[in-house]
A and B are shown apart, each in its own frame.
Chain A
Amino acid sequence: MSDGSERPPLIELSGIGKTFGGVTALSNVDFVLREGEVHGLVGENGAGKSTLMKILTGVYARDGGTILIDGEDVHFTTPRDAEAQGIAMIFQEFSLIPTLTVAQNIFLGHEPRTFRNAIIRDHDMVRRARDLLDELGENIDPRARVEDLSVGARQMVEIVKALSKKARIIVMDEPTASLSESEVDKLFALVERLKASGISIVYISHRMAEIYRICDRITAMRDGRDTLTAATTDVKMEDLIRAMLGAESTAALNWVPRDVDLAAAPVLEVEGLCVAGSVADVSFSLRPGEIVGLAGLTGAGRTEIVEAIFGIRPVASGEIRIGGTRVTTTRQAIDAGAALVPEDRRTQGLVLDQSLQDNIILPNLVRFSRGIFVREDAARAASLRHIRDLKIKTDGPGKEVRLLSGGNQQKIVLSKWLERAPKLLILDEPTIGVDIGAKADLVQKVREIADAGTAVLVISSEFEELLAMSDRLLIVFNGTLIGDMNRQDVHSEEVLHHAVQG
């Protein structure tokens, strides 16, 4: 990795300020992107990373400060202005149209045309799309529909789309959030090639390992200000985390050995579980107070196993017992004391348009009712209690959850289940898109829940987090259970990385 400081600045943002309805989102932020560098942008959710990038890409107008591109002062009023300058952003939620083909998506809005621009030259478009994909070494059929592609392939298409518009600056917002490990490797290889061809990349991520792996320089943000900018080689991870969090401690992410009563009757028993096309003959059990991590690669069948336990996915054969009762439907699982914090909180965990309070009482309607009526006062009191306990940042229980950050949304999903005092808590990727501060809160809370006697089953692709929480680790490979390890026997993340490869 070469030192980026010798390269000339391509973009200079200085003194950028932005407020939304009286709330300051950015104040006096400086950010310099040099030619051909990969620049990491880190910070907790709400620190202002996305807002800064939306100003750079013309989505928002800045309130103050200057933006220089190639030394010239620019004022973007629409994303098109930024696009004309070669700036493209790749969003967390992809902006591709699933029902159109790869080529149609890549050239959407700037298709090669003929006959006075009236007719799209389809063959030409497909050929040029293929050329672009080949150039990047991507084996994707330009005629395939986007909905038929994997998440990783879609991301590649998104990048190609940016390149087709002659982008010189690409902003990637959490690009690896839903990629498998091999897809991440492919993405990083592509990033290296883009960099070699002189393209600058702003890389936003919560995953420190990735930042250190591919970034030349790093800028950290906190509370709408830039708190640190340095070459990656010059900054230690502790210093970086401190710049993001301020004085807050990250001690919660260290593993603490816990005692589990091995003689207690199991809370969850899974016997010979098979799910069509994904899980074969999986058996295991969980005891009260135990935290068990389910480790495996994406696609190994982890999510399928927990969805089967929770009655969402049909079970082909095998038996699931929760607290001794056999369960087959979601309702039965919930009644038997199970709770699931699902993988995708936005589509599976929350009703985004509804308030925090309505979301928390949804699985608990019976408890929050008297006769045929919902008890609003009790619901409000419970919501306030969860807001305090889990440090949810919100104006109040009536706040629509779509307006809250990822970490706070995840705390609400957890709250709605904690309200039931579950015997079995299942967490599927609980910290995706969650900032480090909220992550520490969540890990701490999970330990408390387990200490109070709840059995916890955790899936996470972040092994660091899995190792921080688990008492025991189950290794899933290709739909089967290939290992059952005690935490104290796993001495490093490498051991786990090796184990999940099969």
Chain B
Amino acid sequence: MQSKVEPIFPRHQLNLAGIPWRENIVYICFAGVLVFFALTIGDKGFLTVSNLFNIARTTAMIAVISVAMTFIISSGELDLSVGSTAALAALVSALAIQAGFGFVGGVVAGLLCGLVVGIVNGFFVTVVSIPSFLVTLGMMQLVRGIDMRITYTNPVPVRNGVFSAIFGPGSIGVVPTLFIWALCVAIIGHVVLRYTPFGRQVLATGGNRVAARYSGVRTGRTKVICFLITGVGAALAGMLWTGMMGTARYNFGEGAELAAIAAVILGGTSLFGGKGTIVGTFVGALLIGTINNGLIIMGLDVSEQMMVAGAIIVLAVAFGKKPVR
């Protein structure tokens, strides 16, 4: 149990010049990283419009998953199965299109995959009462195994004009389609979490499950819906990946769960539930994408990129954390 909190306003301690730095750490980091890369590699093409849209395009999938992840984390749970679910939806939708079910059939099949994984996760977490970390850790493995088995790790190309137009690497005007997807998902997510009764129920469930239940919130149902949201979000991301590559692969979304969790926490959502912000999450995802892009332009190899990106995430979260009393 927590010790009694006296009103000493700990969050105001880092309140230089009237700005609550701690709560807006993600925006400050994002601005700082942009300025840093602009100064160091601005002349190497970082600042070109095509590169900035390239960041937006490659970040879109993680951004979609992160928005969905914000819901489940805000409800006090976690979903590690999003990466393998994305690959499953990618493969199943591609196979459905290949089998002649057409664009709509493919998308429906893909989204169904997300719903099924979400229901299974939700069932074991709420009905069987197993911690979501364990359930979804298992599902991450299980679903990835299914991904590898269904095509024996062979890629599935998608040759469907509508699919490539809607999920593909193209643009509307100059804005990449993939980024528009991410933006739409983020806007819907923001409105739902911030302005609807369901959003309140999610935050109340994560903030204090018992008090929410005593207030008539069906907390189990709320959590199951959050798992459905991550499932569907992951499925959408999987199809976006297929669209970007033109091919569905079993290894889509490897590590996406960790990138998404990092984006969510960087954005200011509490890992323990009860506090969530989609805007922060979205910027968090862009921040991670920008760091990766900048490091590639700087000429770092994959191992170095991973080290730097990891260190930045730890430092940003450490700086954004409330001080321990």
Contact = CB atoms under 8 A, between A and B. Distances in A.
Given A334-B216, A347-B211, A351-B274, A402 B5 contact: yes
A331 B216 contact: yes
A347 B215 CA distance: 12
B213 interface: yes
Nearest to B272: A353
Interface stretch (A359-367, A436-444, A456-464, A483-491): A359-367
Given A347-B208, A350-B208, A362 B3 contact: no
Interface string A159-192: 0000000000000000000000000000000000
B299 interface: no
A366 B197 contact: yes
Contacts of A23: 7
B214 A351 contact: no
A374 B203 CA distance: 14
Nearest to B218: A331
A50 B8 CA distance: 13
Interface string A378-406: 00000000000000000000000011100
Which of A351, A363, A404 has its CB near the most chain B CB atoms (within 10 A)?
A351
Interface string A336-354: 0000101000011111111
Interface stretch (A91-99, A222-230, A254-262): A91-99
Contacts of A365: 197, 200-201
B196 interface: yes
Contacts of A71: none
Given A91-B4, A93-B2, A373 B196 contact: yes
Interface string B240-266: 000000000000000000000000000
A402 B4 CA distance: 9
B213 A312 contact: yes
Nearest to A54: B6
A50 B6 CA distance: 9
State the majority secondary structure of interface residues on A: mixed
B12 interface: yes
Which of B12, B191, B196, B216 has its CB near the most chain A CB atoms (within 10 A)?
B216
A351 B1 CA distance: 14
B292 to A, nearest CB: 32
Contact of A348 (B3, B6, B210): B210
B209 to A, nearest CB: 9
Nearest to B196: A372
Nearest to A416: B215
Contacts of A373: 191, 195-196
Contacts, number: 97
B313 interface: no
Contacts of B8: 20-21
Which of B9, B204, B212, B218 has its CB near the most chain A CB atoms (within 10 A)?
B204
Interface in B1-32: 1-9, 12
A403 B2 CA distance: 13
Contacts of B102: none
B144 interface: no
Nearest to A333: B216
B217 A20 contact: no
Contacts of B212: 351, 362
A349 B200 contact: no
B149 to A, nearest CB: 41
Given A21-B12, A353-B274, A353-B275, A374 B215 contact: no
Contacts of A95: 3
B217 A362 contact: yes
Interface string A470-498: 00000000000000000000000000000
Contacts of B208: 347, 350-353
Interface in A293-342: 310, 312, 330-331, 334, 340, 342
Nearest to B208: A351
Given A20-B9, A21-B8, A354-B207, A330 B213 contact: yes
Interface in B212-238: 212-218
B200 A374 contact: yes
Contact of B6 (A51, A93, A342, A366): A51
Given A20-B7, A365-B197, A403-B7, A340 B207 contact: no
A369 interface: yes
Contacts of B204: 351, 354, 358, 362
Contacts of B217: 362
Contacts of A366: 197
B210 A347 contact: yes
Given A312-B214, A351-B207, A369 B3 contact: no
Interface in B143-196: 191, 195-196
A374 B274 contact: no
A133 to B, nearest CB: 23
B210 A354 contact: no
A330 B209 CA distance: 14
A340 B218 CA distance: 16
Contacts of A312: 213-214
Interface string A404-441: 10000000000010000000000000000000000000
B322 to A, nearest CB: 11
A51 B6 CA distance: 8
Nearest to B194: A374
A403 B210 CA distance: 20
A501 B17 CA distance: 63
B1 A349 contact: no
Nearest to B275: A353
Contacts of B9: 20-21, 403
B91 to A, nearest CB: 34
A354 B204 CA distance: 8
B216 A348 contact: no
Contact of B1 (A25, A94, A334): A94
B196 A369 contact: yes
23 contacts: A20-B8, A25-B6, A92-B4, A93-B2, A94-B1, A95-B3, A312-B213, A330-B214, A331-B216, A347-B210, A347-B211, A351-B204, A351-B208, A353-B270, A354-B204, A362-B200, A362-B204, A362-B211, A362-B215, A363-B216, A368-B197, A373-B191, A374-B195
Interface of A: 20-21, 23, 25, 50-51, 54, 91-95, 310, 312, 330-331, 334, 340, 342, 347-354, 358, 361-363, 365-366, 368-369, 372-374, 376, 402-404, 416
Interface of B: 1-9, 12, 191, 195-197, 199-201, 203-204, 207-208, 210-218, 270, 274-275
Shortest 10 CB-CB contacts between residues of A and residues of B: A365-B197, A351-B207, A334-B216, A363-B215, A93-B1, A351-B208, A20-B8, A362-B215, A403-B7, A373-B195
